[in-house]
Amino acid sequence: MSAPSLDLVAIGNAVIDHVHRVPFLPQRDEAVVVFDRRSSPGGVEANVAAAAARLGLRVGLIARVGSEPEGRMVLDDIRQRGVDVSRMQVGAEGETAYTLVFVDPQGDRIMMTGGGGVRLLDLDTEDEAYIRGARACFTSGYLPWPHLERVARLCAGDDAPLFVFDLPGDFADLEARGLRREHVDAIIPRIDLFLTNRGSLASYTGTETIEGGLETLRAKGVRRATVSDGRRGVFLLDARSGAPEIVHVPAFPVAAVDTTGAGDALHAALIAEWGLARRPAVEAGRFAAAAAALACRDFGCRSALPTRAEVDALAHPDAYTGRSDSA
C-alpha cells in the first residue's frame, strides 16, 4: 500500500491498554476491588485508524512501539486490522506506552497513561511524503508540539490532506505533556475538522456550555467542529458558509459494556462521512453516533468495532430524531 492510495494517515499513539473491571470508580482514599483485568491494544490514533479501516477506509499509521512482546502485539493487531504499518517505528524493549483503564458496570471509566511511545516518535522526510499523499491526516493533542506543528504545516495548501485534529483531555494534563493553549490557537487556521468532548472544550475555551464553547471555537477561526457529550450525543458546528449552524445528534441507546474507545470510533466515522464523503452534518453525525454506540458492546477499544453495514443498520433514518439550531 503506497501513500497516494490512502484515505487516511493517523500520526501519534499506539499503546497497550490494561482494562480493569471494578464495581465503581473510586474517589480519593477509596479502595475498590478489581473483578478482572484484560490487556489489549489501544491509543487514540491507533484506535481511530483501526475503526476507520473497519469502516472500509484505506488507512496508514505512524506510531512508535517497543520490541518487547507488548509492542509486537500492538503492531500485529493493527496490521491484522488492515492498517498499513510500513511507517511504524519499532524501538528498544520497554518503549511501548501503556494505559491503565478502570471501568464500572455502567461503562464509565478513568484512565492513566505512562511509558514512552509517542514521546519517542520521530518524523523524517519519508513520513512527510507519506502524510502528504493521503486524502486526510489525523492526530491529537497528545502528539508532541514540534511534531504537531510540523504535521499542521504539511496540511497547508490546496492539494494538502484534510487536517483532522482531536483535542483530548484537560489542559492540566495536556500542559504536562507540553501542549499549551497558544499552540492550539496557532494551528487552528489549518484544521479542517476539530474534534473534542465536553470536558476538553470547557478546559480550552473556559466556557461551560457546549454552545458557548462552539461559538468560541468559531470566533477563533474553526470552520467545522464536533463535541461528543457521552450519553447525550454529539454536537456539530458548521461555519464554512453563511450563518453558522449547530446540529445536535442524540446518542443511540445501547447496553454499554465499556465506553473506552467509543469517542475514537465516533471520530473515525466523522472523518469518513463528514470529512471525506462530505455528507451533511446531520447525516454524518447520525452515522458517527451509531458507530460510537456499537463500539461500546464489549471490553476494550477495538473488540466491538462495527462494520459500515452494522452502522448503517443502526443509523437508519426512521430511528433518528435529531434537530438543527442556528448558532
SS3 326: strand
pLDDT for residue 49 = 98
103 is a domain residue: no
pLDDT for residue 9 = 98
pLDDT for residue 324 = 43
233-289 pLDDT, tens digit per residue, is: 999 999 987 767 899 999 998 877 777 778 999 999 999 999 999 999 999 999 999
Query: What value does the mean pLDDT of the chain take?
Result: 90
Residue 170 has pLDDT above 50, yes or no: yes
pLDDT for residue 111 = 86
Which residue range(s) make up the domain with 307? 3-14+45-96+124-326
How distant is the alpha carbon of residue 30 from its chain centre? 31
Residue 26 has pLDDT above 50, yes or no: yes
The rounded distance, in Å, linking the Cα atoms of 27 and 235 is: 30
Q: What are phi and psi of 318, to 5 degrees?
A: -65, -20
For CA atoms 280, 51, 10, 79, the dihedral sign is negative
Of 49 and 259, more confident: 49
Per-residue confidence band for 1, with pLDDT thresholds at 50, 70 and 90: very low
34 is a domain residue: no
Name the grid cell of 25. 470508580
49 is a domain residue: yes
Per-residue confidence band for 323, with pLDDT thresholds at 50, 70 and 90: very low
The answer to whether 197 touches 214, Cβ cutoff 8 Å, is no
237 is a domain residue: yes
The whole-number average pLDDT for the span 287-310 is 88
Q: What is the domain count for the chain?
A: 1
Per-residue confidence band for 2, with pLDDT thresholds at 50, 70 and 90: very low
Residue with cell 454529539: 234
Residue 137 has pLDDT above 80, yes or no: yes
Residue 135 has pLDDT above 80, yes or no: yes
The answer to whether 141 touches 184, Cβ cutoff 8 Å, is yes
Per-residue confidence band for 318, with pLDDT thresholds at 50, 70 and 90: low
- List the CATH number of the domain containing 277: 3.40.1190.20
Of 160 and 158, more confident: 160
Q: Percentage of the chain with pLDDT > 90?
A: 74
Least confident of 63-72, 149-158, 235-244: 235-244
Residue 319 has pLDDT above 70, yes or no: no
23 is a domain residue: no
Amino acid identity of residue 112, one-letter, is M
Query: Residue 216 belongs to what H/E stretch?
Result: helix 210-220
259 is a domain residue: yes
Query: What's the Rg (C-alpha) of the chain?
Result: 18
21 is a domain residue: no
87 is a domain residue: yes
The model carries a pTM of 0.90
The whole-number average pLDDT for the span 14-27 is 91
**Residues whose CB is less than 8 angstroms from the CB of residue 41 and which lie 6 or more positions away in sequence, other chains included:** 14, 15, 16, 17, 73, 74, 77, 78, 301, 302
Q: What angle do CA 285, 290, 295 make, to 5 degrees?
A: 125
